[in-house]
Amino acid sequence: MSIGKKSYLLDSVNKYTQLFAALILLFMVTHIVIDVFASSVLGKPLEGTIELVSKYYMVAIVYLPLAYLQATDKHIVAGIFTENAGEPFRRFCKCVTAILMCVFGVLLAWRCGVEARHMTALNEQIQTASYFIPAWPSRWIPVVAGVLIALQSIASLLAVFMGERDKDTESCLDGSTSVNSSARQGRPDMHKAGISAKAFS
């Protein structure tokens, strides 16, 4: 599989995870509104709302879109340090940022993976007034997010190098094209000069 196909597949996964996080946000708002309505009007709040919001909704909303932010370069940026800098320095900053984000993604997936594996083995649950809610599946959300962040950071780093190589290739092609065009334009003049010399002789 080529780099372009891998990048396209990764972009598709990031878009779907971002869309999934948006749907979870909508579902969380709806859940909270229903809970407030049931508590205020009916006097019977929905059980497990706080637990689901803290253990599932907020975790997914915070972690899942991070890879999409890395792919679209929408992180918070202090542009005052780079707005007057040259293109090589900006490219260097992008490379450093991608490397740091990759390290962050690996550490996030590793540490959260250890905790998620431990809690899965213990079958972690949250107790409400009437029933238990399994909490261990939410432990794997940061693990998935960390893996996607690391992969997207590697793709961003490769994109910086590939973009630089493409620019060099285009400049070389433009240079060779200009040389060829100038040579082609010079040949008729030389031919005309030869004809005029023969005519005078």
pLDDT digits (tens, 9 = 90+) for 60-95: 999 999 888 888 877 777 777 777 777 788 888 888
Q: Count Cβ atoms below 10 Å from residue 63 Cβ, excluding itself.
A: 21
Report which secondary-structure segment, H or E, holds 161. Answer: helix 141-200
Looking at per-residue confidence, does 85 or 97 come out higher? Answer: 97
Band the pLDDT of 164: cuts 50, 70, 90: low
What integer best gives the mean pLDDT of the chain? 79
pLDDT at 191 (0 to 100): 46
Q: Has residue 183 got a pLDDT over 50?
A: no
pLDDT at 5 (0 to 100): 55
Give mean pLDDT, residues 19-43. Answer: 92
Residues whose CB is less than 8 angstroms from the CB of residue 58 and which lie 6 or more positions away in sequence, other chains included: 28
Q: Tell me the chain's radius of gyration from C-alpha atoms.
A: 29
Between 87-122 and 141-200, two packed helices, what is the crossing angle to 10 degrees? Answer: 150
Share of the chain above pLDDT 70, in %: 78
pTM of the model: 0.72
> Per the structure block, which two tokens stand in for 72?
């679209």
Looking at per-residue confidence, does 6 or 59 come out higher? Answer: 59
Calpha distance 156→176 (Å, rounded): 30
Calpha distance 158→125 (Å, rounded): 42
